[in-house]
Structure 1
Amino acid sequence: MILAHAGHPAGGVPPVALVPLGMFWVYLAAALRQRDPGRPGWSHRRTASFGLGTALLAAGLAWPAGGLPGHMWQHLLLGMLAPLALVLGAPGTLALRTVDQRTGRAAVRLLRHPVARALAHPVTGLLLTTGGLYLLYLTPLYRATLTSPALHGLVRLHLVLAGYLFAWSVAGPDPGPHRPRVPVRLLVLGVAVAAHATMAQLLYAGVLVDVPATGDELRAAATVMYYGGDLAEILLALALLVTWRPERRPAPTPVRA
C-alpha cells in the first residue's frame, strides 16, 4: 500500500481530516431516513462501524508526521483499519435504499459490467495494495513524496481507495459483481499476509529498500507493519467468515415413477 507524508502541516489538524466527518454526517442522515414509517430501518452496528471507520480515517489523516514509524501508523490506519470498518458499514447498500429505483437499477447494471467485475476481484485489490507497497519502498517513489505535496496527496488517496477495494472484494456486505468462493478469497488474503511480512522483513534488514531513514527508524516501522498488518488482516479474515453466507442449492426435483 502506498504511503507518503509531504505537505502535512507542522501543527494543528489538516483540513482534509475534516472530510471523514462530512462523510459520516451524510451516512447518518441516510441511516436516519430508514427509520421513517414504511422503511425497513438500518442496523445500529453498521452505523457504528462506519462511524468508527471515519474516525480512524480522520485520525490517519491528522496523524503527525514523526518520521518513518509515524507514517507507517498512517499506513495502518488509512489503508487497512479504516477501510475495513467503512466497508462493514455497508454504505453501498444504504445508498441503494436511499436513491430512487431508477438510479438504483442503473447502479446495479453498472456493477454487472465486465470492467466492474474485474475491478471487484480480490486479486485486483491485492495487486493495488501490495503492489503499491513494493513500488513505494523499493523504488525512488518514497523519496519523491517527501518533496511533492501533489504526489503525496495522490498516493494517500490511492492508499485509502485500494484498501477499501481490497476489503470490499474480500468481505464486503454490499452488493457487487459475483465474488469468488470463500476459499479463493482466503487464499488471496493469505498472499497479502505473506507479501506484507516479506516487505516488513526487507525494511527491518534495510535490504533492497530505497528509504531515507536510520536503522532504528527502519526497524520500528517494520515492526508496526509486521504486527499491525497481521492484526488488520486477521480482522479482515474474521469479517469474511462473519459476513459469509453459504450458497443455497436448489432442492432436487423429485423423479416421477
Structure 2
Amino acid sequence: MWPALPLLLVAVAYLLLAHRARRRNPVQGWSRWRTAGFLTGLVLLAVALLPPLAPFAHDDFRGHMAQHMLIGMYAPLALVLGAPVTLLLRTLPPARGRRLTTALHSRTARMLSRPAVALLLSTGTLGLLYFTPLYNATMGHPAGHWLLHAHFLLSGCLFAHVIAGPDPAPARPGVPVRLVCLGVAIAAHAVISQLMYGGFLTDIHAPVEEVRGGAEIMYYGGDIAELLLAAALVATWRPARRPRSLSVAAGSVRAYGQR
C-alpha cells in the first residue's frame, strides 16, 4: 500500500501549485481541465500499483500487461496533459524559474526531446524486455520490478510529452514528424504483440494462455492509447503564426498587384 502515499503527496503539491497560480494571476488562472488530467493520471497509477491489480500482475502475465499499459501509456498521457512544467514555471520564484528554463534548453533536454530518442526509449525497449531473459529476471527481483515500473512511467511520459505535450519543448519538431513517429510506435506495438501471441522469439516464463492474453491486451490496449495520443496531438496543435511584418508586406504586395 506504500505507493499510495507518494501519489497522494504529488496530488496535494499539484493542487497547491494550481491554487497559487490562480491567486497570482486571477485573469489567466489555471485550467481545471489540466488539473483534472493530472489527477486522472495519478488515479491510473494508483490503480496499477495497488491491489487488486498489483498482486495479480505479479502472478499472471495478463495482469503484468494491463499494469504496463496503465503505467507506460495511459497514466503518462494524462499526467503530461496536466502541463506540470508550465505550472512550475508560473509559480516558482523568478530565480528558480530561470534555472528550470535553462535546464529545459540544455543539450540533454534537447536530445531527449527528439521523437526518435523518445520512441527508442519507450517502444524500442519492449523488444529487449520480452525477447530476452530480461523480463524473467526483473520478475524475480523486487528492485528490478520497481525499476521496470519507473522505466515504463518515465519513458511513457517522455514520449507523450514529445508527441503531444503542452509543456515547452525546445527541440520538438513539426506535426508531420511527430505523426510519423507515432505511426512507427503503433506498428511496433502491433508487431511485438503479434509475435508474442504466436510465441515467436519471446522469452516469457508463463503459460501460453497468459502470454496470448497479454499479447491481446498489448494489441488492443496499445491501439486505444495511441489513438488518444493522436487526438491529444490534434487538440494541442496550433498552427505557426507568420510575423506581423511579413503579413503586412504580403498584403501590400497583393494590393499593389491588383492596381
What TM-score, normalized by structure 1, do the two folds share? 0.91
Q: 1:106 Cα shift?
A: 1.8
* Equivalent residues in 2 for 1:116-155, closer than 5 Å: 116-155=109-148
Return 5+ residue gaps in structure 1 as ranges: 1-13
Distance 1:44 1:77 in 2: 23
Distance 1:44 1:117 in 2: 29
C-alpha root-mean-square deviation of aligned residues, in Å? 1.5
Distance 2:94 2:169 in 1: 17
Distance 1:37 1:182 in 2: 33
Return 5+ residue gaps in structure 2 as ranges: none
Residues 1:76 and 2:69 are matched in the alignment:
yes
Distance 2:5 2:226 in 1: 27
Q: 1:147 Cα shift?
A: 1.3
Distance 1:206 1:117 in 2: 38
Match of 1:10 in 2: none
Match of 1:201 in 2: 194
Distance 2:94 2:126 in 1: 40
SS in 2 for 1:186: helix
Residues 1:25 and 2:18 are matched in the alignment:
no
| One-letter amino acid matched to 1:110 | A
Q: 1:175 Cα shift?
A: 1.3
Larger mean CA deviation between 104-113 and 135-144 belongs to 104-113
Residues 1:58 and 2:46 are matched in the alignment:
yes
Q: 1:38 Cα shift?
A: 4.3
Distance 1:57 1:224 in 2: 17
Match of 1:7 in 2: none
Match of 2:156 in 1: 163
Match of 1:45 in 2: 33
Residues 1:112 and 2:105 are matched in the alignment:
yes
SS in 1 for 2:37: helix
User: Deviation string for 1:146-201 (max 9, x for gaps)?
Assistant: 21111111111111000000000110001121311001000000000000001100
Structure 2 CA distance for partners of 1:113 and 1:37, relative to 1, 3 Å: closer
| One-letter amino acid matched to 1:44 | R
Which structure has the greater CA radius of gyration?
Answer: 2
Distance 2:4 2:150 in 1: 13
Q: 1:109 Cα shift?
A: 1.8
| One-letter amino acid matched to 1:65 | P
| One-letter amino acid matched to 1:21 | L
| One-letter amino acid matched to 1:115 | T
What TM-score, normalized by structure 2, do the two folds share? 0.90
User: Deviation string for 1:208-232 (max 9, x for gaps)?
Assistant: 0000111111111011000000000
Larger mean CA deviation between 63-72 and 87-96 belongs to 63-72
Structure 2 CA distance for partners of 1:30 and 1:224, relative to 1, 3 Å: same
| One-letter amino acid matched to 2:34 | R
Q: 1:17 Cα shift?
A: 3.5
| One-letter amino acid matched to 2:10 | M
User: Which of the two has greater helix per residue?
Assistant: 2
Contact 1:65 1:71 in 2 (8 A): no
